[in-house]
């Protein structure tokens, strides 16, 4: 696999659509000057990885052959044959599984560019910041926990609404009970009570993996008879049914269905209480790591687009409640 993108110049960003307006200028100012060095570093890292794989393959072939020679030769060291074969295979596998390319530098560049493009977004990479997630627990969006380890902290404001988005690991008694994104948006909608919405089934009504581990939800089930398609994938719980029906209007249901399509077979939850809309999105690994690290193809422009999709979640939700189409910026029809 090539270490660089086969068709795109990493020093140039071609804007696609209104949502990327101005991103080319940010790219030219903040990212393009670093791309020549970054692309060279990427090629060198992948060349090392290929060499390690070739050496690993050679050792995995040679070690069993050497073991057979020792066993058949009648030498006094014939008893070492199993150890030679096992040790060679182990070493070969270690070489083949050598570390991936270090994407931290590219990650930092792309996050800075994405924050500037979205506007009103600040970022901190932290490991010991104390952040409370009590509201998420009370709505049963995440399990109860003892220790919260925060890794990435984003905070911002859009259309006068403050929000935060955190990559966090929640642990209880040494056991990890949640890892993923936790979002909290200040939305003063005048609603009372607590409302929890769970994405817990596929479109064919089959249960998503992991839904059996969810905590007990406060409130009673709410059924929207006017939208059976929504209930194919979501369950609603509330202690104020009128508020739940007001929150889950057509626009918000459409936004949740869009998220369900985008996030696939992941059991995520959202809820509203105390003037805040909260989302818990479980996941493995670093959600903001450039995709190039996993694919081995150096595609920083594609990485930036995916990163913007992740970071734009609070903006899209706020736009939806403001009656704005988050894709076009135009007013939604009532």
Same domain, 145 and 25: no
Closest CA to 180 of 313, 301, 276: 313
301 neighbors 20 (Cβ within 8 angstroms):
no
Q: Is the dihedral of CA 223, 225, 229, 230 positive or negative?
A: negative
What average pLDDT score do residues 110-129 get?
Answer: 84
Q: What is the pLDDT of residue 129?
A: 57
Q: Which of 154-158, 169-173, 221-225, 325-329 has the lowest mean pLDDT?
A: 325-329
pLDDT digits (tens, 9 = 90+) for 142-152: 888 888 888 88
Give 226-278 as a DSSP string. T-HHHHTTEEEEES-HHHHHHHS-HHHHHHHHHHHHHH-S---EEEEETTEEE
pTM > 0.75: yes
CA quadruple 84, 87, 89, 90: dihedral, nearest 10: 180
Domain boundary residue among 96, 129, 162?
96
Same domain, 309 and 214: yes
Other Cβ atoms less than 10 A from the Cβ of 77: the count is: 10
Q: Is position 202 within any domain?
A: yes
Q: Is position 326 within any domain?
A: no
Q: Is position 135 within any domain?
A: yes
Q: Is position 234 within any domain?
A: yes
Longest Cα pair distance anywhere in the chain, in angstroms?
87
What average pLDDT score do residues 115-126 get?
Answer: 88
Q: What is the pLDDT of residue 4?
A: 42
């Amino acid at each position: 696999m090539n270490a660089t993108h086969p068709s795109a110049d990493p020093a140039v960003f071609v804007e696609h659509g209104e949502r990327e307006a101005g991103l080319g200028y940010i790219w030219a100012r903040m990212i393009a000057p670093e791309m020549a060095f970054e692309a060279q570093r990427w090629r060198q890292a992948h060349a090392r990885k290929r060499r390690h794989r070739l050496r690993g393959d050679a050792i995995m072939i040679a070690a069993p052959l050497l073991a057979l020679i020792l066993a058949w030769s009648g030498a006094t060291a014939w008893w070492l044959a199993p150890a030679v074969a096992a040790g060679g295979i182990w070493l070969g596998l270690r070489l083949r599984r050598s570390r991936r390319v270090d994407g931290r530098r590219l990650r930092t560049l792309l996050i800075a560019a994405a924050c500037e493009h979205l506007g009103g977004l600040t970022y901190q990479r932290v490991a010991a910041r104390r952040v409370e997630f009590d509201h998420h627990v009370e709505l049963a969006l995440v399990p109860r926990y003892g220790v919260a380890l925060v890794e990435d902290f984003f905070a911002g404001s859009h259309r006068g609404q403050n929000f935060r988005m955190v990559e966090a690991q929640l642990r209880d008694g040494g056991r990890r009970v949640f890892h993923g994104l936790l979002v909290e948006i200040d939305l003063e909608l005048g609603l009372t009570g607590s409302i929890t919405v769970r994405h817990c089934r596929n479109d064919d009504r089959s249960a998503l993996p992991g839904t059996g581990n969810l905590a007990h939800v406060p409130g009673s089930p709410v059924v929207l008879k006017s939208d059976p398609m929504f209930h194919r994938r979501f369950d609603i719980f509330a202690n104020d049914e009128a508020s739940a029906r007001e929150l889950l209007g057509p626009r918000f249901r459409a936004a949740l269905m869009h998220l369900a399509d985008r996030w696939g077979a992941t059991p995520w939850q959202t809820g509203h209480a105390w003037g805040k809309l909260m989302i818990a999105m479980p996941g493995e690994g670093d959600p903001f790591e450039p995709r190039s690290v996993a694919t081995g193809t150096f595609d920083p422009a594609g990485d930036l687009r995916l990163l913007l999709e992740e970071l734009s979640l609070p903006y899209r939700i706020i736009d939806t409640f403001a009656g704005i189409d988050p894709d076009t910026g135009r007013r939604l029809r009532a």
